[in-house]
Structure 1
Amino acid sequence: MKKITLKDIAAEFGVSVSTVSKAIHDSHEISTEVKSKIQKFAKAHHYRPNKVALNLLNRSTKSIGVVIPDILNYFFVQVLYGIEKVANERGYSIISCVTDHSLKKEAMTLEMLSSGSVDGLIISSVASERQTKKHLENINNVVDYQIPLVMFDRVMDAIECDKVIVDDFEAGYKATKYLLDTGCKTIAIINPMSKTKIGRLRIGGYKRALKERDIDFDEKLITPIEPQDDLDFILSFILNDKNIDGILALDEITAVKTMGIIKARGYHVPNDIAIIGFTNGQLSKYVTPALTMVSQHGSYIGETCANRLIDRIESISSPGIFEAKVVKTSLIVRDSTRKITLG
């Protein structure tokens, strides 16, 4: 059975969420007749008041919930660092939860955090491009409870809240253009995020860079992979079928694994095949050769999310006016790509 919300009750009676809340809590501001109708309806439909919604005006936990899909991805580690830094500076603690890319675990986590544990939430959703109605409900329940919410990186367009996103289209374009500028002609993409909007945008940037050089897009050069796939086996087909001289790996771990496999097969990096990865983490710096990476500025994103959320909690931001901040990426050039030669 779907859990009824203040918003549902408000829609039933054609009144505001605020009116419903006051009626349920027997406010003298609401007429006896209206209070009675709303209270009976709420009881009949097993409405359970949310602790945060009840106490938002007169109490604070001074805690922020942070929900991320993957702790092994260094980007999310950087974001957590940025969130915690700002939270500490502004007198808040954080409760961090990892969903492991599970919709079910995300729903359970959001229900737990929105029951009164925290004053606000920062979320990077596990949503794929084919967002389910149930998934949207999970996030919208947070909004219905009037809990301040900021989404980052993996955001949902249908949710009205503050958002901090990376310019992934530009990131794909910038990385591809650099490989082309160094002399690469056939660039493959290893895509571990094929079901996400992020992956689509990065490939969109790749396509634009190719188009600017009058290079035809070849769908066979785009290889989606899942965590359970054998990357060594998949790369053997890519390398045998095409004259690859450049690879974009759309996350850090995939980039490191790809380079190790390519080197083991006798290729020289970058003279035979140049490699660029995404997320400028610790792994990419200390492998040999060090990997050229697209930095998404995770710490800055975390700081921005935390400041925006706390401003909401403390009513510094304008109510109802949501902001979508776009963060530009940087290309950190190291030894896994050739140098651009001028002349």
Structure 2
Amino acid sequence: MAKATIKQVAAEAGVSTATISRVLNSSGYVSREVKQRVMAAVTKLHYQPNAIARSLKQDKSFTIGVVLPDISNPFFMTICRGIEDIVQEQGYHLLFCSSDEKPEKEEQLLHLMVEKRVDAIVLATTGGNEELITRLAASGVCFILVDRRLELELSESGAVVDLVAEDDVYGAYELTKQLILAGHSVIGVINGCMGVSTGQDRFVGYLKAIHEAGLEHDPALLYDGHFTEAGGRAAVRYFLQMAKPPSALLSFNNKMTFGALVELTESGRDIPGDIAIASYGEIEAARLLKHSGIMYVDQKPYDLGIKAGQTVLHRLEKGLDKSLDRDAASPEPEPIRDILQPALKTLPS
């Protein structure tokens, strides 16, 4: 059965298509009797408004694209919850998808979001698409980076890319320092992707702490866990086969930490008796371990989402001043940089 058109609804109700639009969009005065006729016609013909046509007419789709590196990670989904709790109050909905930490897939998804005419894109990038993001942002696409920043010089391009993130260098520095103060000098590091800022900055924070303590970084004590659970498990197997295994493991995201905990538990290792654990991000399952003494950076993904949602609404309300009535001599708007300061916590030991 063919979908009913607005013209068919108008003919059924005996009114103009403009009146149908006023009733469905609650804009302008329409008498109660006419409203009842219109809604009766809508119900009878099973009419569904054409969202694409409406977005073209209004130049607004009321959708916000969210491109994440891993939608199975509770950290990123909690960010989405924060965003949604803010933007839905203004009638916006989220369209989100996962790049699976693949730059080429992220590129395809960014093009898809533009084709879908989303009003803004919230991006936790995999890295490698700086040129595309710069070009899209300079053309007027509203971008808000969350959790991960880009190494971009945007001032000359006219691009405005906002950022909501945590101070990863500080968090990793404090976490490493606490391990050193606890007496650990041989620390196995489970790092994430060095192609993204979270991997880079957390490693920088670690280096800062060990150098400050007069220790040297041993490349053999660094394992790339790719920000995955499997990577965390593989890292534990790598470190445990050493002639002198590290006395502590420092993991730079929650999924790698979870994998490490599973592998250590299955291998019969005691935490922290045999090996201590420090994690960038809380692992809720770790609370099931008795006296683990696990130290972790208490990330606030929901707060990141709230901040990102507020930034989106600010940009959509204020715009990026790309309109024709903008004074050509006026400066470009400054990018928003909202950096949250993480805190450390320790489970009972």
Task: Give the TM interval when normalised to the shorter protein.
Answer: 0.7 to 0.9
Given that 2:229 and 2:259 are in contact with CA atoms closer than 8 Å, whether structure 1 keeps it comes out as: no
Q: Is the alpha carbon distance of 1:55 and 1:147 closer, same or farther for their aligned partners in structure 2, counting shifts above 3 Å?
A: farther
Partner of 2:335: 322
3-state secondary structure, aligned to 1:314: helix
| Amino acid paired to 1:334 | L
Query: Match of 1:44?
Result: none
What amino acid is the match of 2:215?
I
2:307 corresponds to 1:304: yes
Instruction: Tell me the amino acid that sits aligned with residue 176 of structure 1.
Output: T
- Determine the structure 2 residue equivalent to 1:42: none
In 2: Cα distance, 1:310 partner to 1:272 partner: 49
The amino acid that maps onto 2:201 is L
For residues 103 and 234 of structure 1, do their structure 2 counterparts lie closer, same or farther at Cα, with a shift above 3 Å needed? Answer: closer
**Offset of residue 287 of structure 1:** 4.9
- Which aligned pairs between 1:1-343 and structure 2 lie closer than 5 A? 58-127=58-127, 131=128, 135-158=129-152, 160-226=160-226, 234-239=235-240, 240-287=242-289, 291-315=294-318, 320-335=333-348
Q: Percent same amino acid among aligned pairs?
A: 22
Structure with higher RCO (Cα < 8 A, 6+ apart): 1
For 2:66, what is the secondary structure of its paired residue?
Answer: strand
Counterparts of 1:142 and 1:169, CA distance in 2: 29
Are 2:231 and 2:259, in contact at CA under 8 Å, matched by a contact in 1?
no
Deviation at 1:316, TM superposition (A): 6.9
Moved more, 168-177 or 262-271: 262-271
Question: For the residues of structure 2 that align with 1:148 and 1:266, how far apart are their CA atoms?
Answer: 50
Task: Give the length in aligned residue pairs.
Answer: 278
The 1:97–1:265 alpha-carbon spacing in structure 2 relative to 1, beyond 3 Å, is closer
Measure the CA separation in 1 of the matches of 2:61 and 2:283. Answer: 33
Gaps of 5+ in 2: 1-51, 155-159, 322-331
Displacement of 1:247 after TM fit?
Answer: 0.8
C-alpha displacement at 1:179, in angstroms?
A: 1.3
Which SS does the other structure have where 1:241 is aligned? coil
The DSSP-based 3-state class of the residue aligned with 1:121 is strand
Partner of 1:22: none
Q: What is the rounded CA distance, in whole Å, between the counterparts of 1:95 and 1:281 in structure 2?
A: 27
Structure 2: how far apart are the matches of 1:204 and 1:65? Answer: 31
Match of 2:37 in 1: none
CA distance in 2 between counterparts of 1:202 and 1:181 reads: 18
> How much has 1:55 moved relative to structure 2?
6.1
In structure 2, give the amino acid aligned to 1:257: G
One-letter amino acid of the structure 2 residue matched with residue 292 of structure 1: M
Is contact 2:232–2:255 with CA below 8 Å preserved after alignment?
A: no
Q: Is the 8 A contact 1:69 1:124 kept in 2?
A: yes
- 8 Å contact from structure 2 (residues 230, 259) kept in 1: no
**Aligned counterparts of 1:230 and 1:277: Cα–Cα separation in 2:** 14
**Of 79-88 and 196-205, the range deviating more from structure 2:** 196-205
Report the residue type matching 2:107 in the other structure: A
Is the contact between residue 311 and residue 317 of structure 1 (CA under 8 Å) also seen in structure 2?
Answer: no
Secondary structure of the residue aligned to 2:220 is helix
Inter-partner Cα distance in structure 1 for 2:66 and 2:233: 35
Shift of 1:157: 2.4
List per-residue Cα deviations over 1:205-256 (Å, max 9, x = no partner): 1122222222222222111234597765653442323341111111112212
The RMSD of aligned alpha carbons is 2.8
Task: Return the offset for 1:105.
Answer: 2.1
**Separation of aligned partners in 2, 1:305 and 1:332:** 25
- TM-score, reference length from structure 1: 0.72
Task: Sort the Cα spacing of 1:231 and 1:301 in 2 relative to 1 into closer, same or farther, 3 A.
Answer: closer
Cα pair distance change 1:59/1:231, threshold 3 Å: closer
Report deviation, 1:66.
Answer: 0.9
